[in-house]
Amino acid sequence: MSDLRSLPSVDRLAAGLDVAHPVAVAAARAVIDERRAELRAGASGDVDLLARARERVARIERRSPRRVLNATGVIVHTNLGRAPLAEAAHAAVARVARGYSDLEWDVERGERGSRHDHVAGLLCELTGAEAAMAVNNCAAAVLLAAAALAGPERELVVSRGQLVEIGGGFRVPDVVVQAGARLVEVGTTNRTRRADYERAIGPATGAILRAHPSNFRQLGFVQEVEIEELCELGVPVIDDVGSGNLAEDLPALADEPPVRRSVAAGAALVCFSGDKLLGGPQAGVLVGRAEAVAAARAHPLARALRLDKLSLAALEATLALYRDPERARREVPVLAMLTADEPQLRARADRLAQDAGEVEEGSAKVGGGALPLLELPGPVVAVDGPPDALAARLRLGDPPLVGRIERGRLLLDPRTLADDEVEPAAAALRAALATG
Tell me what pLDDT residue 325 has. 95
What mean pLDDT is predicted for residues 134-147?
Answer: 95
Residue 272 inside a domain? The answer is yes
- State the virtual CA torsion across 300, 301, 305, 306 in degrees, nearest 10: -30
372-376 LR contacts (CB < 8 Å, sep 24+)? 372/214, 372/215, 372/216, 372/217, 373/217, 373/255, 374/252, 374/255, 376/73, 376/75, 376/252, 376/338, 376/415
The separation between CA 243 and the C-alpha centre of its own chain, rounded to angstroms, equals 10
Pair 257, 272 in one domain: yes
Q: Do 173 and 305 share a domain, yes or no?
A: yes
Average pLDDT over residues 275-302: 97
pLDDT of residue 315: 98
From 309, 328, 347, the end of a domain falls on 328
262 and 276 share one domain: yes
Which stretch of 209-213, 416-420, 421-425 has the lowest confidence by average pLDDT? 209-213
Examine the domain organization and report whether 249 and 160 are in the same domain: yes
Q: Tens digit of pLDDT for each residue in 163-189? A: 877 666 667 788 777 888 899 999 988
State the virtual CA torsion across 37, 40, 42, 47 in degrees, nearest 10: 50
**Tens-place pLDDT, residues 329-359:** 999 999 999 999 999 999 999 999 987 899 9
Residues 6 or more apart in contact with residue 230 via CB below 8 angstroms: 197, 208, 210, 237, 239, 265, 267
- Distances from the Cα of 214 to the Cαs of 64, 91, 122, 368, in angstroms? 30, 31, 25, 9
**What is the structure's pLDDT at 215?**
60
Q: What pLDDT is stored for residue 358 in this prediction?
A: 94
Domain shared by 316 and 363, yes or no: no
252 and 220 Cβ atoms separated by less than 8 Å? no
d(CA 368, CA 166): 10
Residue 196, pLDDT > 90, answer: yes
CATH code (residue 183): 3.40.640.10
pLDDT of residue 434: 87
Query: What DSSP assignment string belongs to 335-347?
Result: HHHHH--HHHHHH
E runs forming strands in 193-341: 205-211, 237-242, 269-273, 284-288
pLDDT in tens, 63-73: 778 899 999 99
Instruction: Tell me how many domains the chain contains.
Output: 3
Question: Which of 305, 328, 351 lies at the terminal end of a domain, its last residue?
Answer: 328
The long-range contacts involving 359-364, CB below 8 angstroms and separated by at least 24 positions, are 362/73, 362/406, 362/411, 362/413, 363/73, 364/73, 364/74, 364/75, 364/337, 364/413, 364/415, 364/416
pLDDT, tens only, 52-93: 999 899 888 877 788 999 999 999 999 999 999 999 999 999
Same domain, 93 and 74: no
Does 38 reside within a domain? Answer: yes
Give the per-residue SS3 of 346-391. Answer: HHHHHHHHCCCCEEEEEEEEEECCECCCCCEEEEEEEECCCHHHHH
Residue 303 lies in a domain: yes
As a whole number of angstroms, the distance between CA 204 and CA 171 comes to: 24
pLDDT the model gives residue 217: 67
Does residue 236 share a domain with residue 262? Answer: yes
DSSP 3-state of 73 = coil
Domain that holds residue 385: 69-79+333-434
The single-letter code of the amino acid at 213 is P
Q: What is the dihedral of CA 166, 169, 174, 178, to 10 degrees?
A: -100
CA-CA distance, 210 to 227, in Å (whole number)? 8
Q: What is the CATH number of the domain that holds 354?
A: 3.90.1150.180
Model confidence at 206: pLDDT above 70: yes
49, 139: one domain? no
First CA to last CA across the chain, in angstroms? 37
Q: Is the pLDDT of residue 373 over 80?
A: no
| Secondary structure percentages of the chain, helix, strand, coil, to 5 | 45, 20, 35
Which candidate, 249, 136, 267, 322, places its Cα nearest to that of 258?
Answer: 249
Whether 381 and 414 have beta carbons less than 8 Å apart is answered as yes
